[in-house]
Amino acid sequence: MIAFVSGPVAALAPDAAVIEVGGVGIAVQCTPDTLSRLRVGTDARLATSLVVREDSLTLYGFADDDERQVFELLQTASGVGPRLAQAMLAVHSPDALRLAVSTGDEKSLTAVPGIGKKGAQKLLLELKDRLGEPLGGGGPAAARRAGAAPAAGWREQLHTALTGLGYAPREADEAVTAVAPQAEESGAAPPPLPQLLRAALQTLNRAR
């Protein structure tokens, strides 16, 4: 198992980063939130999970070990593969998922692209005793995830997150415009990126 990769960021794409490790560029699939914290040319350390298929080897990267553990636990539920597990972590932090499952919050799960009402009900049943209770605090990495998106650049981060989830640039533009009042109403720092992402996804779901 490859537990983590560490090295300079060689390239960034909407859904992946390339980390240079010992002269080799390793492609790592990441959530939009994780990607938004990486910069080409700077060092990064990502916890990783290797998914092996008959025709592929795919490495998924995470901000910390807790996020990776939740990613792997989510896949113990029937019908949840790595892509859906990653989409769930793109919308919700690990603690937010624990809270949703422990409280039976079906609405939070249906905010994830690809999860309908019946799927959410099934996941709540299967994951109830697997994810555990919210950890609270969660350490520095969790604090960073919970922190507000930078006042300058939240639009770009949100747009990148949406296109990384498969939405067309035009759809992403419309969703960013739709949540702009929510992001700017306080006049101070905008809400956390995951919160803005949930609001944008709800807007897109209503439009379809």
CATH of the domain at 164: 1.10.8
What is the extent of the structural domain holding 119?
A: 65-140
pLDDT along the chain (208 residues), means of 10: 91 89 94 85 94 90 93 93 92 89 89 89 90 61 42 71 77 88 68 75 70
* Amino acid 145: pLDDT: 42
**DSSP type of residue 152:** T
Under DSSP, the state recorded for 187 is S
Query: How many structural domains does the chain have?
Result: 3
CA distance linking residue 34 with residue 57, whole number of Å? 21
CB 112 within 8 A of CB 86: no
Which contacts qualify for 175-182: CB closer than 8 Å, 24 or more apart? 175/200, 175/201, 175/203, 175/204, 176/200, 178/203, 179/203, 180/155
Residue 182 has a pLDDT of 79
> What pLDDT score does 18 carry?
95
| 56 lies in the same domain as 26 | yes
* pLDDT value for 135: 72
Per-residue pLDDT at 60: 96
CATH no. for residue 13?
2.40.50.140
Three-state secondary structure call for residue 6: strand
Cβ atoms within 10 A of the Cβ of 116, count?
11
CB atoms near residue 138 (< 10 Å): 18
CATH number of the domain where residue 111 is located: 1.10.150.20
Is the same domain home to 95 and 126?
yes
| pLDDT at residue 42, as a whole number | 92
| Phi, then psi, of 73 in degrees rounded to 5 | -70, -35
Q: Taking each helix axis as running N to C, give the angle between helix 154-164 and helix 169-184, from 0 to 180 degrees, rounded to the nearest 10.
A: 140
**Location of structure tokens 């929510």:** 182
What's the pLDDT at 27?
A: 95
- Which letter, b or e, does each residue of 54-81 get, where b requires 16 or more Cβ atoms within 10 Å of its Cβ? eeeeebbbbbbebbbbbbebbbebeebe
pLDDT at 189: 62
Q: Give the pLDDT score at 200.
A: 82
